């Protein structure tokens, strides 16, 4: 099962077809979770989230009550907590739902601190084992996360650029058949290997330790 998670980032950064997708009755059976104002947006689009989580500090009392009444489960949390709304939503998804993949929307935007939080949470012990099942998608980017091993990544039709982001120390990184290749390189610190490209319809890479985020993107 695919679980879709809508976070409260600006709608201007959503994939271009997401708003229409939410309003299409044919997609009513999809599983959606809302984090903070993402839950409000889902409900206003006619989607009933299986779970809504957040402190809802940017929501009115009327909107909070709307969330309570129109979610299968709602968690209105205190403002001070050790995790973000996105992380808390993921915590509940992992513990309560049977999923094959989690696709996160609305997790990017103007706030760089929130963007970095939504990028680096996969290094936390509770989320790291599931990182290969998590994707982040916005209007310009599609992010996947990988643990050590050999991986094949399929090219998305709408993207041009490919990046390999070492989120921590990575050893023995091979980029076998991308435009710019590597052969067994170690990186002691986080680094963004950006502006690479696919040569064909897929690319292969491997590494022995660390966590890598791939980003397929277009201007």
Residue 73: its pLDDT value, please?
94
pTM here is 0.94
Domain 1-139 coded CATH 3.40.50.10240: yes
Cα–Cα nearest to 53, from 21, 24, 25, 95:
95
d(CA 102, CA 69): 24
Residue 83: its pLDDT value, please?
81
Residue 39: its pLDDT value, please?
95
Residue 3: its pLDDT value, please?
97
Residue 117: its pLDDT value, please?
87
Residue 123: its pLDDT value, please?
97
Fold designation for 140-219:
Rossmann fold (3.40.50)
Burial level of 112, CB count in 10 A (0-12/13-18/19+)? exposed
Residue 169: its pLDDT value, please?
98
Do the two domains 1-139 and 140-219 of this chain adopt the same fold?
yes
Residue 79: its pLDDT value, please?
67
Lookup: tokens for 110:
């103007």
CB crowding 156-170: b at 16 or more within 10 Å, else e: eeebebbbbbbbeeb
Pairing, β 101-105 against β 2-6: parallel
Q: Which residues of the chain have pLDDT under 50?
A: none
pLDDT digits over 122-146, tens only? Answer: 999 999 999 999 999 999 999 999 9
The structural domains of the chain, with segments of one domain joined by +, span 1-139, 140-219
Decide: 11 and 102 in contact? Cβ < 8 Å.
Answer: no
């Amino acid at each position: 099962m695919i679980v879709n998670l809508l976070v409260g980032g600006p709608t201007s950064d959503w994939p271009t077809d997401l708003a229409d997708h939410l309003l299409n009755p044919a997609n009513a059976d999809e599983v959606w979770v809302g984090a903070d104002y993402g839950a409000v947006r889902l409900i206003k689009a006619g989607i009933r989230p299986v779970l809504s989580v957040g402190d809802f500090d940017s929501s009115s009392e009327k909107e909070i009550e709307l969330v309570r009444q129109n979610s299968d489960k709602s968690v209105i949390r205190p403002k001070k907590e050790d995790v973000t709304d996105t992380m808390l939503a993921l915590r509940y998804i992992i513990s309560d739902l049977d999923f094959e993949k989690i696709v996160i929307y609305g997790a990017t935007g103007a706030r760089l601190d929130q963007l970095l939080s939504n990028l680096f949470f996969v290094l936390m012990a509770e989320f790291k084992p599931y990182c290969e099942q998590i994707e982040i998608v916005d209007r310009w980017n599609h992010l996947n996360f990988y643990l050590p091993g050999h991986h094949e990544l399929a090219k998305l039709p709408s993207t041009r650029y490919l990046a390999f982001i070492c989120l921590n120390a990575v050893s023995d990184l091979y980029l076998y058949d991308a435009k710019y290749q590597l052969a067994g390189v170690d990186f002691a610190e986080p680094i963004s290997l950006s502006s690479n490209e696919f040569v064909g319809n897929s690319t292969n890479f491997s590494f022995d330790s660390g966590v890598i985020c791939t980003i397929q993107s277009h201007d």
